[in-house]
Structure 1
Amino acid sequence: MASISFTLPIFLTIIFFLPLKIIPTIGTNADETRIHFYYQERTKPPNATAIKVVSSPIEHANPIFAFGNIFVFDDPITEDLDPASHLLGRVQGQLVIVSLDGNDGLYTLNIHFTNLSPWTGSTLTVIGRNPTQQTVKELPVVGGTGLFRLARGYVVVTRLTPIDSPSGILTFLVNATLFNH
């Protein structure tokens, strides 16, 4: 019986202090990084950077956002609004319209920095719900490569031009907040 009464206080002490040792270490190695850039998407030939690769067989009031449509894109990242400004990299990915009403898409994209020091060669991976009718969207960053390995965070993407722009050029502002290890 003496061994039980001695072991129980030790066991309770370990159970009490173990979480206190673990809790302060959570998230202490994360560095916050904020990046601001633009990307331009061209939807009209001959220099289209976004195309529809699968068309839905379902009739929809707005055929662009018909359930089942799949788009792929490879858009230039620039440091300001002017498409001719300094090229920083590419936004490459896909959009799949996943809701019957066309209001939601699944966005998967890689943001690849080819000329933005110190992140040249690094990528961010973003996967999430894209509310197609909203001008401002928040999407989760789920990882990355290079200096963004194990990155977490979010991007706020703001469409600066109308979705039905007569020029066929859509301009987006991206503000990324990252917590990388």
Structure 2
Amino acid sequence: MASISFTFPIFLTIIFFLTFKIIPTIETNASETRLLFYYHERTKSPNATTIKVVSSPIDQTVPIFAFGNIFVFDDPLTKGLDPESPVLGRVQGGLVITSLDGYDGLYNFNMVFTGFDPWTGSTLTVIGRNPTQQTVKELPVVGGTGRLRLTRGYIILTRLTSLARPDGIITFEVNLTLWNN
């Protein structure tokens, strides 16, 4: 019995090394890139780009971030801080306030590139927790389409203006792993 317990670990070690020797090495065709965009939202008419479509049924007197509130948005994504700078695309999606205290929400949106070569016509998909009261937050990039297919990464969002203002500006620091086709 002692010889079996001694040879079994040796056998497993040999199988382990043979497995790695036989499996071909997969070359990754990935590259990393960092991008900076500016997201401009307008919450007041005229020309609102972010609106509340459902109000919390619990308490109508609660401020904007109340459990159950649902927002949709279609906001411009620009090259510069100035809202008149070149538009590179749109940020289209929604926010659902999911915590009872109103401080957290589920953010899901697509970054649709309309004027940003070489990715015009491509999208990035972002979904994650949005701590609404924090100035800086991190959200995962879970995929993309077109030339951004299989992209992964994260976005650091930094609010540059007060939540009380009707014309919010948020920086998008986008860190991506791109798969080159």
Q: Same fold (TM over 0.5)?
A: yes
* Matched position secondary structure for 2:64: helix
**Deviation (angstroms), 1:23:** 10
CA positional deviation for 1:14: 3.3
d(CA) in 1 for partners of 2:73 and 2:42?
9
Q: CA RMSD in A?
A: 2.2
Identity of aligned residues (%): 62
1:111-135 CA distance string (max 9 Å, x none): 0110011111111000000000000
1:15 equivalenced with 2:16 (yes/no): yes
Distance 2:151 2:87 in 1: 23
* Amino acid corresponding to residue 96 of structure 1 in structure 2: V
SS for the counterpart of 2:147 is helix
2:55 equivalent to 1:55: yes
Q: Structure 2 vs 1, CA of residues 177 and 21 (structure 1 numbering), >3 Å: closer, same or farther?
A: farther
> 1:58 and 1:23, CA in 2 relative to 1: closer, same or farther beyond 3 A?
farther
User: In the alignment, which residue of structure 1 is the partner of 2:154?
Assistant: 154
Distance 1:20 1:70 in 2: 54
Give the match's secondary structure for 1:65: coil
TM-score, length-scaled by structure 2: 0.87
SS at match of 1:105: strand
Q: Measure how far apart 1:146 and its partner are.
A: 1.1
TM-score with structure 1 length normalisation? 0.87
The 1:12–1:129 alpha-carbon spacing in structure 2 relative to 1, beyond 3 Å, is: same
Q: Please state whether the residue corresponding to 2:94 is helix, strand or coil.
A: strand
**Structure 2 SS opposite 1:63:** coil
Aligned residues: 171
Task: Please report how far the alpha carbon of residue 11 of structure 1 lies from its aligned counterpart in structure 2 after TM superposition.
Answer: 6.9
- Partners of 1:171 and 1:20 lie apart in 2 by 53
> Compared with structure 1, are the counterparts of its residues 115 and 21 closer, same or farther at alpha carbon in structure 2 (3 Å cutoff)?
farther
For 1:43 and 1:157, how far apart are their aligned partners in 2? Answer: 18
**Alignment gaps of 5+ in structure 1:** 1-7
Deviation at residue 37 of structure 1 after TM alignment = 0.7
- Give 4+ residue runs of structure 1 displaced > 4 Å after superposition: 8-12, 19-24
User: Which runs of 5 or more residues in structure 2 are unaligned?
Assistant: 1-7
The SS at the match of 1:17 is helix
What is the correspondence of 1:22-171 to structure 2 with a 5 Å cutoff? 25=26, 28-59=28-59, 62-165=62-165, 168-171=166-169
